[in-house]
A and B are shown apart, each in its own frame.
Chain A
Amino acid sequence: MTGAADAITVRRSRANVWLALVLGALALAFFVFTFFQDWS
């Protein structure tokens, strides 16, 4: 693999993890919002 291709792979896997974390945080927020809502 060339250096440029390596750099693209690393950039892409970092972007993958960041996007996954954002989506995971979103899911967690929906759970927290449901459970800790003031339902009274």
Chain B
Amino acid sequence: MATAEAAHHEHYHPGGLMRWVTTTNHKDIGTLYLVFALTMFFVGGAMAMVIRAELFVPGLQVVNPHLFNQMTTMHALVMIFGAIMPGFVGFANWMIPMMIGAPDMALPRLNNWSFWILPFAFTMLLSSLLTAGGGPASGWTLYAPLSTQGGMSVDMTIFAVHMMGISSVLGAINIIVTIFNMRAPDMSLMRMPLFVWTWLITAFLLIAVMPVLAGVVTMLLTDRHFGTAFFDPAGGGDPVMFQHIFWFFGHPEVYILILPAFGIISEIIPTFSRKPLFGYSSMVLATAAIAFLSFVVWAHHMFTVGMPLTGELFFMYSTMLIAVPTGVKVFNWVSTMWRGSMSFETPMLFAVAVVFLFTIGGLSGLMLAITPADFQYHDTYFVVAHFHYVLFSGSTMAMMGAAYYWLPKWTGHMYDEKLGQLHFWLTAVFFNVTFFPQHFLGLAGMPRRIPDYALQFTEFNVISSLGAFGLGLSQILFAYVVIKCVRGGAKATDKVWDEPRGLEWTVPSPAPYHTFETPPASIPSRT
């Protein structure tokens, strides 16, 4: 009886596993998302190791071509939907309420549900590898007619994508409602930290395009099982239409994967430059401009499929236009550092590397945007190099920097700075060893998603594979530093760093289970 009464008491918390299953606390759910993302990062990373082992030397050694195709497909799906997106949602859950002075997310039970859909979605996706005929092998883009012809693993993938989409949309709704309705009284929109701004815009992108992905995979499903012919020319359909609809989702998705990283960098660089962020309002406008432009550039992924000249010109110029707001951001980050009193703790090392390496990815993106040039680069390793510079040295390294930046606030312990810096240098060096040679391979004509290659590509592939093995092993060090920090270490102060700005640094370290149950009396100045 006493237990039943306690269960109904508002401060009752179950312990052990049930704490995590039933939690509605934004910090707990943030931790769940981050642990899940790190786990998926290692699962997807293991698949990358298989790919690079096969490509170490010419010929077929490690896996058969069909399994190779499954590995490239699954590596992308796991990294995009399992590691990067949930990782950013984890940071959002932890930080957005603390940054805007809210006691929790606006819809805590929905928040719990958003997370707990994911383990089931990925169990479904990964177990498709065990079906007769193996996992999906059509590439993460699931292009028809390859995907209309696959086995039951494609149906499992479609169902998993639906579940991930529901999780993302519910998470996005929660973030928008939290930011609009739960801000502390003095926290006007234009005083919000950039991380909150970039997530607000990202959440709108998610609501706009995840349903489009759900729509197109549902069309795939009905083509496979219910007699429709959306993508089947024999029934009056068109496989190219799949590509159009997919990339109408796919390109905004690229910005879903990078805008929160821009927000993270915009938090870290001012702290370690000991200066306010340069050009705050232009940063907000640039983020919004990138999000808007992301809806009108999708066909640059499919220049070679055959389009009217006007279409190719439109998509070429609109894509190039994105360089303008992106350039504004890079300019502002550099200007924030300019004459700052800079120090290079691990988060700052990651942030500076992101600015530098993401810009390389941005420039190769500009090369790909040039339609006639893209006819040469399309579906080569140049594209693989490009999007890893954006998604690994952009999104992933930004998240690593964010982990080092906020871990002391979360755990109350400082991480091991020496090991953190060692992890950074190993990651930065091995990343470039892995992916820079892939530019040359692509320019020389090595096609992507093929398990074998011509002899003249051998040297660069050996270098790339050695780099990849080093990069993979280095991430074990990352997990070690994080676990070590969670378990103990030097006591972190409440401010943690010299001159951090923002409400999250006004609460104790470790952050109490509940923060801002009464709104903060004043908002720290960001200038």
Contact = CB atoms under 8 A, between A and B. Distances in A.
Interface of A: 12, 15-17, 19-20, 23-24, 26-31, 33-35, 39-40
A23 B173 contact: yes
A20 B76 CA distance: 31
Interface in B274-297: none
A27 B181 contact: no
Given A20-B110, A20-B174, A27 B210 contact: yes
B177 A23 contact: yes
Contact of A19 (B177, B214, B236): B177
Given A27-B207, A28-B211, A34-B212, A20 B169 contact: no
Shortest Cβ-Cβ A-B pairs, 5 listed? A34-B215, A31-B211, A30-B211, A16-B106, A35-B215
A1 B219 CA distance: 52
Interface of B: 106-107, 110, 169, 172-174, 176-177, 180-182, 207-212, 214-216, 218-219, 230, 236-237, 241, 245
Nearest to B238: A39
8 contacts: A20-B106, A23-B176, A23-B177, A26-B207, A27-B173, A27-B211, A29-B211, A35-B215
A34 B222 CA distance: 14
A20 B105 CA distance: 12
A39 B241 contact: yes
Contacts of A24: 169, 173
A15 B181 contact: yes
A39 B110 CA distance: 34
A20 B218 CA distance: 24
Contacts of B176: 19, 23
A31 B180 CA distance: 24
Contacts of B181: 12, 15-16, 19
A23 B219 contact: no
Given A20-B173, A39-B237, 14 more contacts: A15-B181, A16-B107, A17-B107, A19-B176, A20-B106, A20-B110, A23-B173, A24-B173, A30-B212, A30-B215, A33-B215, A35-B215, A35-B218, A39-B241
A27 B241 CA distance: 21
Contacts of A29: 211
Nearest to B105: A16
A16 to B, nearest CB: 4
Contacts of A27: 169, 173, 207, 210-211
Contacts of B219: 35
B210 A34 contact: no
Contacts of B214: 31, 34
A24 to B, nearest CB: 6
Contacts of A30: 207-209, 211-212, 215
Contacts of A39: 230, 237, 241
Most buried by B among A23, A24, A29, A40: A23
Contacts of B216: 34
A14 to B, nearest CB: 10
Given A12-B182, A23-B173, A39-B241, A34 B207 contact: no
Most buried by B among A17, A19, A27: A27
Nearest to A23: B173
B358 to A, nearest CB: 29
Given A12-B182, A19-B181, A31 B215 contact: yes
B107 A34 contact: no
Contact of A23 (B207, B209, B215, B245): B207
